[in-house]
Structure 1
Amino acid sequence: MSASKWFLREPSPESATRLFCLPYSGCGASMYRKWPRFLGDMEIVPVQPPGRENRFREEPYGTFEALADDLVEVLHPYLDRPFGLFGHCGSALPGYETAVRLMEKGYPTPDRLFVSSQVAPHRGPHGRFLEMSDAELADEVHTLIVQLGGKPRPDLVDLSLEILRADVETNKRYHPDEPVRLPCPITALGWDQDAEVDHRLMDSWADCGETTFRVLEGPHYRFMEAPDDLMDAFLADLSA
């Protein structure tokens, strides 16, 4: 399996720590283009799953478990220094599942798992996207493209809708009865104006491992702007 297509750029050998970031539902790795490449000596490494952007001709994964099975093998050569995993909303769940797979395989585990705007896996699936029609999801895609600074052309909306629908269906299938407790600490990030996932619903992440809870300022999509309080949380918690 070629690792190169999983990254927009090869992880730097100069970084002291790495933060691997999974893209938001319906998006590809370029959604992190407003984020810095480095926070001090911590490198931000966006991950590109199949089925989106430069990999749009590939079949997307139908389960988070299957995604995690392959992703751990891709990441393994780059886990030679402290690292973290980050996912927001739907992508927080494959982030968690990837941490589980790393533990099960005896590979290095994250120094910190960051989960943003998502309930713990055994409390889901959760969110209004799960019950939306394609027309309603298309409206959300339109909003998301604008948030990312793009122009919502009909062809782009249609392609993004296909990806988002696949991600939503994968989310629906993911509901472990009992959470696997991770050996690594977790930071659960809520947002005080989030209309999608109330930060108070994130308390059950404590069932998945030692958890630090942070409530940041802003709505659901604010994370895409690389706000200072989010970057500060990465530096404080991954360094710890």
Structure 2
Amino acid sequence: MMSALPAESPGGAPAPRARPARPAKWLLRRPKSQDGAPRIFLFPYAGVGASMYALWPERIGGAEVCLVQLPGRETRLREPHFTTYEELAGPLVEGLAPYLDRPFAFFGHCSGVLPAVEAVRELARRGLPVPDRLFVSSQVAPHDGPYGRLLDLGEDELAGELAALTRAAGGEPHPDLIELGVSVLAADIEANRRYRVAEPFTLPTALTTIGWRGDEVIPPALMAGWSAYAPQDRVREVLLEGAHYDFLKAPAPLLEELAHDLAEPASGTEETV
């Protein structure tokens, strides 16, 4: 029987016990799956962090849900903002690289789509694995942006928007947290404002675009430009019932569409109405 005593170091002293590894800062929680299950990485939108997905399940179909945490917010509040999506892409893919050892996908909603796009491009540039599919919810194509009414709002108006976001996520806004959040939101909006693309480029992944019938922030008709970012047989268009923030509650129709394409990452162009 093996001894329960700690192993000794070469010098004879007991070797220190290994401490459990801390979760990677780029993810709100370390992936748990050891069975080779695929992963879907969820990117937060402007002004908030990975906890915005608190109501989402830990698995969608057979895929493990991984929550991306960007610098300058929540658990990374002390870190400087990334300034531009292009500057963010390098450190981001380095942080995610250890978890790209099986099929995976990216999901972003609104401004959360844009860092996901640049991460895909950076992975390709470095010769690293790229996602089987990019899920694009409520965002115009890069060459059609920057777009959105938040781009022209002042701090007081942004505070009101952040309070609305908090309520939409099921919370109650606190004045101090709103004040803190406004600076994050303003920095994220500036990154969005700086993201200018002259013409479409081909992404090395399949695309699923998700529009929402009641979306007054990004009407589905404005999303048509995404068809230029992948071959026609690798773009699937989905149109769901709901408004701009309804995705926060992980509605069943959305999860069903994600599970469908996670199971068949190269599916074609059929449209869900």
Mark yes or no: TM-score above 0.5: yes
Q: Which amino acid aligns with 2:29?
A: R
Tell me whether 1:143 sits opposite 2:164 in the alignment.
Answer: yes
Give the number of aligned pairs: 239
Query: Mean alpha-carbon deviation: is it higher for 192-201 or for 204-213?
Result: 204-213
| CA-CA distance at 1:3 after TM superposition | 6.7
| Residues 66-215 of structure 1: pairs in structure 2 closer than 5 A | 66-209=87-230, 210-215=234-239
Tell me the alpha carbon deviations over residues 2-26 of structure 1, each in whole angstroms, 9 at most, x when there is no partner: 9711112111223511000111111
Q: Which of 209, 227, 240 is 2:251 aligned to?
A: 227
Q: What are the residue-to-residue correspondences of 1:3-14 with 2, within 5 Å?
A: 4-12=24-32, 13-14=34-35
SS of residue matched to 1:205: helix
The CA distance in 1 between the partners of 2:75 and 2:199, in whole Å, is 36
Query: Is the CA contact (8 Å cut-off) linking 1:102 and 1:108 kept in structure 2?
Result: yes
Per the alignment, residue 218 of structure 1 pairs with 242
Contact 1:15 1:42 in 2 (8 A): no
- Match of 1:238? 262
Aligned-residue offset at 1:193: 0.3
Paired letter, 2:53: Y
- Is the Cα contact below 8 Å between 2:63 and 2:262 reproduced in 1? no
Q: Distance in 2 between matches of 1:6 and 1:33?
A: 16
Q: What stretches of structure 1 move > 6 A for 4+ residues in a row?
A: none
TM-score (norm 2): 0.85
State how far apart, in whole Å, the 2-side matches of 1:51 and 1:14 are: 33
For structure 1, the 5+ residue unaligned runs are none
SS of the aligned residue for 2:25 comes to helix
What root-mean-square deviation, in Å, do the aligned CA atoms of Structure 1 and Structure 2 show?
Answer: 1.2
For residue 40 of structure 1, report the CA deviation from its aligned partner.
3.3
* Letter paired with 2:123: L
Mean Cα deviation higher: 88-97 or 8-17: 8-17
The one-letter code of the counterpart of 1:238 is L
Moved more, 18-27 or 7-16: 7-16
- For residues 77 and 262 of structure 2, the distance between their equivalents in structure 1, rounded to whole angstroms, comes to 32
Give % identity.
47
Alpha-carbon distance in 1 for matches of 2:149, 2:30: 36
Aligned partner of residue 156 in structure 1, secondary structure: helix
List gaps (5 residues or longer) in structure 2.
Answer: 1-21, 265-273
- Residues 106-163 of structure 1 show CA distances to partners (whole Å, capped at 9, x for unaligned) of 1111110011100000110001011111111111111111112222111011111111
Choose 1 or 2 for highest CA Rg.
Answer: 2
CA distance in 2, matches of 1:180, 1:49: 25
Task: Work out the CA distance in 2 between the residues paired with 1:167 and 1:4.
Answer: 22
1:22 is matched by which residue type in structure 2?
Answer: F
Deviation of 1:178 after TM superposition, in Å, equals 2.3
8 A Cα contact 2:26 2:96, kept in partner:
no
CA distance in 2, matches of 1:14, 1:172: 41
Question: How many angstroms apart in 2 are the aligned matches of 1:198 and 1:40?
Answer: 28
What TM-score do the two structures reach when normalised by structure 1?
A: 0.96
AA aligned to 1:54 is T
Whole-angstrom CA distance in 2 between matches of 1:36 and 1:97: 26
